[in-house]
Amino acid sequence: MAKNKQWAKKAFNLFLKYNTEFILLILIIVSSLISSAFFTERNIFNLLRQVSGTGIISMGMLLVILTSGIDLSVGSQLAVGSVFSAYFLTISSYSLPVSLFLAILICTFFGSVSGYLVSFRGMAPFVATLALMTITRGVAFIVSKGSPIIIDNPILMSFGNQYFLRIPYPVLLMIGIFIVVHLILRYTVFGRLVKAIGSNEVAVKLSGINVAYYKFAVYAISGAFAAVAGIISTARTGVGSPLVGQGLELDAIAAVVIGGASLKGGKGTAFKTLLGVLILGLIGNIMNLRNVPAYPQQVIKGLIIIFAVLFQGVKTGYENEG
Amino acid sequence: MAVHRIEMNNVSKSFGGVQALKNVTFKVSPGEIMALVGENGAGKSTLMKILAGAYTKDKGEILVDGKVVEINNPQKGRRLGINIIYQELTIVPDITVAENIFLSNLPAHNGIIQWSKLNQKAEELIQSIGFNINPKIIAGNLSVAHQQIVEICKALSHDARILILDEPTAVLAPSEVKILFKVLKNLKEKEVSIIYISHRLEEVLEIADRVTVLKDGEVTGTGIPKEMGKDNIINLMIGREITDMYPKRDVETGKEIFKIEKLKTDKVENVSFTVRAGEVFGIAGLVGSGRTEIAKAIFGVDPVQTGIIYLKNQPLKNKSPKEAVSKGIGMVPENRKEEGVILDMTVRENITMTTLKSISQLGFIKNRTESSFCQQLVEKLRIKTGSIDVPVNNLSGGNQQKVALAKWFGTNLKLIILDEPTRGIDVGAKVEIYKLINELSRQGLGVIMISSEMTEIIGMCDRAAVMHRGKMAGILEKDDLNEENIMRLAAGEDKNNGKK
């Protein structure tokens, strides 16, 4: 009896520790059972390509959330990145590298504005980035005059739709950015301090560290990543559109949270965030395969977020008791 | 024989294999002030949490008024009249005193708060324990001592018959302790049973009717404090004798390395003193007299309005802690858990927070260098932890404080400011902290030590400034450093009054 109980406790602990992994695993099993089309190479890479944009902005979002901030502007910034990259290519006729560089630079600038308001002006991250969200969406509309800008750059378009070793380029880019963020959080001073600031900003400040600099930096990085996601969108669709990325900031936040990060900051990893992105993408994918209409899809997605985070609640509550 | 208010018989509790309490028997009579003492980790808090229903016991029985009860949640405890007042107060700072007191049962009619009734009831309650606080004041504006009184009133509003005070005087100045004791004596007359947890044995001797000593989860003695004597109680607590509470320091003080001239901020004014290399300079005074504010001004947290701060004869204009640290000033803040350490992060991550530059290359942390650096400090400072990768939260208060100190050991310091370095930690750990302070002074650092404990200032400092209401009341040299002089200055009685 006692042994059984102990075993159950151990299994439960294991489940709590790897709850994000378990949820993903369960979803994969369920998906492959209910749809024979799921486990095809085509579908898997399609799925990965679909989530690559969300995946990249989620990495920026993770950094921001680790400092106990939030960045609501990334969806709009994605549109800015998309529109500007197309604008510079098509209308300004700049070369590809220059166009992409400038698009990223512009989003980094807007991210820096959020960062400045939050870290040097003491504005609440929610408010500052909410303002930037509407400003940048507006900028995307102004620059594109409200309509999509069509591109005809073959290199960029093939980047969006071609494969390297059978893996789509955008997926490779997402993996690359994931690895960079993972390394930053794991091995660098910057990563350590980002987490430390989210855990206890005052203690970090009193250790003689310029907290504002790090808080500023995460918003700038988040902006740059949003631009990259915007460029992917342009590459995939062949147009720079001011409409893309609406509501994507919420998907990114959801992915980070499903990955076990705390909105209070200090807790979260790049790997689990990536799992969160995959979980969200998978839910959409399988429902599309089963032809579930869009509206119920949203309800089910929300329920799964609740479910995933409830388990984390159990986890922290459980740990606190000991 | 009269029935005990509380009777805990053979209570045991373990956490994941660690036996926190072993067959503890603990009894309190109505109207009795029962002290509970022991080192950190001795099991005092665990025992009290079991009594209040925050933890459940593994074995044993609890009787309230002679009846066996099962207290399996805090609500149940409260219904039995058991209330704990924790060291960290749970006042809601943005609402009034009256609202705080009656937070869980605001007098309302159809959901609308009856303010006049609320304020009247609060005022009656505060006065009933011999006090006078305006119930309409916003609670966050009160001093810590008064917040504590509010907290006690809150407990009484639940008809508390058993009041547990966890380290109530840790944040109080001596005069405020007297106020608290007066309140406790009033409560005693009303037949309230009080369990008083404290590290300060002088207080136990003064206020408690009986004392129970815990060591490693077991009761090592129960008796009347005055009959047992302080030394005997310490023996029971730590199992050895502390002959030298304040270890001797044989350091020749060197040149003057730090000087403040007529410092004025929006919290303090007229502060001037010097600190020599190897000197421990104390800042005494009541809570709220501006001691911490001096530290904050030196460290670049609060802006300096007028006055000059010199470090090694160079004027300092610290606009941020970063600048202060880069010039060689370190600070261990008074609120260990909120400001001193990052509880969720590991011992390693906390220790190297100040030295990340020297243990990294191109922004990457050199793992081995960091490990060996931390390992050395953990051994040197005798920080008790399973490994350097354990969250600081899992350490006892004394060891957390050592981590807060360890942060500064690897930096190139000239001056360190210690704000209440031994608050809320046990006797054994205190002595170790004192030894570390001596070690720092031996290395030629200037040490500024802020403390509410006069004996600590007297025992540790070469000289001390005393603050009174935001102004420096005077500096006492070693020979004049005694409780009487400190109190006189802290209370604002000018030395020269008689002479002029």
- What was the pLDDT predicted at B243? 56
Backbone angles phi, psi at B242, to 5 degrees: -100, 110
Contact across the interface for B343 and A200, Cβ inside 8 Å: yes
**pLDDT, tens digit (0-9, with 9 covering 90-100), for B132-173:** 888 998 988 887 778 888 888 888 888 788 999 988 876 677
Cβ contact B364:A188 at 8 Å: yes
What's the Cα-to-Cα distance from B480 to each of B138, B289, B290, B462, B468, rounded to whole Å? 40, 21, 22, 10, 18
What 8-state DSSP symbol labels residue A188? Answer: B
Residues of chain B contacting residue A192, judged by C-beta atoms under 8 Å apart: 349, 356, 365
The token duo for B355 is 């030295």
Q: How far apart are CA A253 and CA A263, in angstroms?
A: 9
CA dihedral B72, B73, B76, B78 (to 10 degrees): 130
Could you tell me which residue, A36 or B346, shows the higher pLDDT?
B346
- Looking at the complex, report in whole angstroms how far the Cα of residue B318 sits from the nearest Cα belonging to chain A: 11
Kindly give, in sequence order, each residue whose CB lies less than 8 Å from that of residue A278, ignoring residues fewer than 6 positions away. Answer: A24, A51
Mean pLDDT of all residues belonging to chain B: 86
3-state SS, residue A167:
strand
Backbone angles phi, psi at B399, to 5 degrees: -75, -30
Between positions 272 and 301 of B, the ones with CB within 8 A of A are 299, 301
- What was the pLDDT predicted at A230? 96
The mean pLDDT value for B391-413 works out to 88
- What was the pLDDT predicted at B498? 36
Residue (of B403, B408, B476) closest to B443 by Cα position:
B408
The mean pLDDT value for B199-203 works out to 79
Spans in chain A with pLDDT lower than 70: 1-3, 312-322
Task: Among A187, A196, A204, select the one facing B365 at the smallest CB separation.
Answer: A187
Domain limits, CATH 3.40.50.300, in chain B: 6-238, 256-497
Residue (of B240, B209, B245, B243) closest to B226 by Cα position:
B209
Residues of chain A contacting residue B326, judged by C-beta atoms under 8 Å apart: 208
Residues of chain A contacting residue B363, judged by C-beta atoms under 8 Å apart: 188-190
Q: How far apart are CA B321 and CA A201, in angstroms?
A: 13
Residues of chain A contacting residue B338, judged by C-beta atoms under 8 Å apart: 200, 202-203
Contact across the interface for B357 and A195, Cβ inside 8 Å: no
- Looking at the complex, report in whole angstroms how far the Cα of residue B163 sits from the nearest Cα belonging to chain A: 24
Q: How far apart are CA B325 and CA B415, in angstroms?
A: 10
The token duo for B101 is 């007191």
Report residue B182's pLDDT band, with 50, 70 and 90 as the boundaries.
confident
Task: Among A188, A208, A267, select the one facing B325 at the smallest CB separation.
Answer: A208
What ipTM is given for this predicted complex?
Answer: 0.84
Could you tell me which residue, A305 or B465, shows the higher pLDDT?
B465
Residues of chain A contacting residue B349, judged by C-beta atoms under 8 Å apart: 192, 196
Least confident of A48-52, A231-235, B226-230, B415-419: B226-230
- Looking at the complex, report in whole angstroms how far the Cα of residue A208 sits from the nearest Cα belonging to chain B: 4
Percent of chain B with pLDDT over 90: 32
What 8-state DSSP symbol labels residue A151? Answer: -
Looking at the DSSP bridge assignments, the partners of residue B85 are B165
CB atoms within 10 A of CB B229: 13
Domain residues of chain A, as ranges?
43-311
- What was the pLDDT predicted at B499? 35
Q: How far apart are CA B275 and CA B295, in angstroms?
A: 13
* Per-residue three-class SS string for chain B: CCCCCEEEEEEEEEECCEEEEEEEEEEECCCCEEEEECCCCCCHHHHHHHHHCCCCCCEEEEEECCEEECCCCHHHHHHCCEEEECCCCCCCCCCEHHHHHCCCCCCEECCEECHHHHHHHHHHHHHHCCCCCCCCCEHHHCCHHHHHHHHHHHHHHCCCCEEEEECCCCCCCHHHHHHHHHHHHHHHHCCCEEEEECCCHHHHHHHCCEEEEEECCEEEEEECHHHHCHHHHHHHHHCCCCCCCCCCCCCCCCCEEEEEEEEECCCCECEEEEEECCCEEEEEECCCCCHHHHHHHHCCCCCCCEEEEEECCEEECCCCHHHHHHHCEEEECCCHHHHHCCCCCEHHHHHHHHCCCCCEECCEECHHHHHHHHHHHHHHCCCCCCCCCCEHHHCCHHHHHHHHHHHHHCCCCCEEEEECCCCCCCHHHHHHHHHHHHHHHHCCCEEEEECCCHHHHHHHCCEEEEEECCEEEEEEEHHHCCHHHHHHHHCCCCHHHCCC
- What was the pLDDT predicted at A307? 81
Which residue bears the tokens 């969160």? A276
Asked whether residue B493 carries a pLDDT value surpassing 60, the answer given is yes
3-state SS, residue A67:
coil
- Looking at the complex, report in whole angstroms how far the Cα of residue A191 sits from the nearest Cα belonging to chain B: 9
The mean pLDDT value for B173-190 works out to 83
- What was the pLDDT predicted at B18? 67
- Looking at the complex, report in whole angstroms how far the Cα of residue B99 sits from the nearest Cα belonging to chain A: 28
- What was the pLDDT predicted at B465? 93
Q: How far apart are CA B372 and CA B379, in angstroms?
A: 11
The mean pLDDT value for B168-196 works out to 83
Tell the CATH topology of A43-311.
ABC transporter involved in vitamin B12 uptake, BtuC (1.10.3470)
- What was the pLDDT predicted at B157? 85
Pick the CATH number of B256-497 from 3.40.50.300, 3.30.565.10, 3.30.70.100, 3.40.50.720: 3.40.50.300
Task: Among A189, A203, A205, select the one facing B363 at the smallest CB separation.
Answer: A189
Cβ contact A76:A133 at 8 Å: yes
Report residue B86's pLDDT band, with 50, 70 and 90 as the boundaries.
confident
Report residue B500's pLDDT band, with 50, 70 and 90 as the boundaries.
very low
Is the C-alpha dihedral spanning A203, A209, A210, A213 positive or negative? negative
By the CB < 8 Å criterion, does A167 face chain B?
A: no
Contact across the interface for B341 and A203, Cβ inside 8 Å: yes
- Looking at the complex, report in whole angstroms how far the Cα of residue A6 sits from the nearest Cα belonging to chain B: 12
Contact across the interface for B322 and A267, Cβ inside 8 Å: no
What's the Cα-to-Cα distance from B211 to each of B2, B35, B182, B207, B408, rounded to whole Å? 19, 4, 19, 10, 39
The mean pLDDT value for B51-55 works out to 88
Q: How far apart are CA B274 and CA B260, in angstroms?
A: 6
The token duo for B243 is 């002959």
For domain B6-238, the CATH superfamily is P-loop containing nucleotide triphosphate hydrolases (3.40.50.300)
Backbone angles phi, psi at A245, to 5 degrees: 80, 10
